[in-house]
Amino acid sequence: MSSAPIGLREILDAPIHFLREHFKPLISIAVVGQGVAVVPIIVYQIVSGGQTPDLTVPSKLGGYLALTYSAVGTQWLIQILPTLALYYAVKQIMDGREAPSIGEAYQAATVPRHYFTYVIQGSIILIGFTVGALCCGLPGMAAAVLFCLLAPVMFHEDRGWMDALNRSYQLVWENPSGKFVGSTAFAALIAGTVYIGLSTAISTLAAMPSTVWTMTEMFSGAASGAAPTAIAVPAWLVLVGAVLGVAAQSVVALYPAVAFTMLYREVIRRRDGDDLAEAIQERLDP
């Protein structure tokens, strides 16, 4: 494996150029999945009336937690589909083929082996952040970095389950140069930081109308001398927030699919060279 450091251009600049060229087919795939994923949150907000109940009452607290975790968990399980569909589409385009149709991309995403392997990855990362809460979530962050190449591994090498997880771990962990800066793990950490920054910025903009409306209502109530109460969000604002949220999540989801696929291909080019094609062919042969 080459010990030359991975340059920042491959991490930061190249994905942006790729997205500019292939934005339309990729955003179409993302919007469909994100549009379905937002449905549980809309249902949750309508059922809850847009306001938090009195959590000092045990029965209300239990119902609130059950409803909240059900909505968030369902949304997460649905969002895995557009995530995998984007990785598949990016792989096809980088292989020199036409961008897949929306149906083709989601057909690849719904392969049980791929889908549930990604569920396992997400569960490991979640456990890492939960268990490592006292140490700033470092175990979860480490798991996210080590398994960041999972989707490219599954679609490029037709692997699944622990085999795919182990392959991602090996590719990220290996560091012949012995230096962290320029290693695969460093590149993954930089790409992840960029993704979090983009996600935070775009999500903040998407939530701006709801935030402005809530603050306006609070100040209006305070100015009129009304007692502070929970503010119920109107249905029209819920729908506006849902549309903006879908647009924001669709745009944000594009970057990691491109960045980590590019990182995977660069690592493989340095590590395996031409042997990759032979290994894939051996797996595909009956």
Q: Which two tokens stand for residue 148?
A: 């960041």
As a residue count, the chain comes to 286
Look at residue 5 in the predicted model and tell me its pLDDT.
55
Report how far residue 184's alpha carbon sits from residue 149's, in angstroms, rounded to the nearest whole number.
10
CB 68 within 8 A of CB 44: yes
Question: How does DSSP classify residue 138?
Answer: H
Q: What is the pLDDT of residues 196-248, one digit of tens each?
A: 887 787 777 766 666 666 667 666 655 665 544 555 556 666 666 667 777 77
| Averaged pLDDT, 78-98 | 91
Question: How does DSSP classify residue 57?
Answer: S
Look at residue 272 in the predicted model and tell me its pLDDT.
64
Place of tokens 């494996």: 1
Look at residue 152 in the predicted model and tell me its pLDDT.
93
Which secondary structure element, helix H or strand E, spans residue 221, and what is its range?
A: helix 208-223
Instruction: Transcribe 173-194 into DSSP letters.
Output: H--TT--STTSHHHHHHHHHHH
Please calculate the CA angle 73-25-120 and round it to the nearest 5 degrees.
30
Q: What is the pTM of this model?
A: 0.78
42 to each of 45, 93, 240, how far by Cα in Å?
Answer: 5, 34, 11
* Lowest-pLDDT choice from 21-30, 144-153, 156-165, 174-183: 174-183
Q: What is the pLDDT of residues 113-169, one digit of tens each?
A: 999 999 999 898 888 878 766 666 678 888 888 998 999 999 998 888 999 999 999
Task: Of 193, 164, 175, 142, give the one whose Cα is nearest residue 267.
Answer: 175
Look at residue 225 in the predicted model and tell me its pLDDT.
56
Look at residue 143 in the predicted model and tell me its pLDDT.
87
243 to each of 34, 196, 273, how far by Cα in Å?
Answer: 10, 21, 44
Between 272 and 41, whose confidence is greater? 41
pLDDT at position 95 over 50: yes
CB 46 within 8 A of CB 238: yes
Q: What's the pLDDT band for 274 if we cut at 50, 70, 90?
A: very low
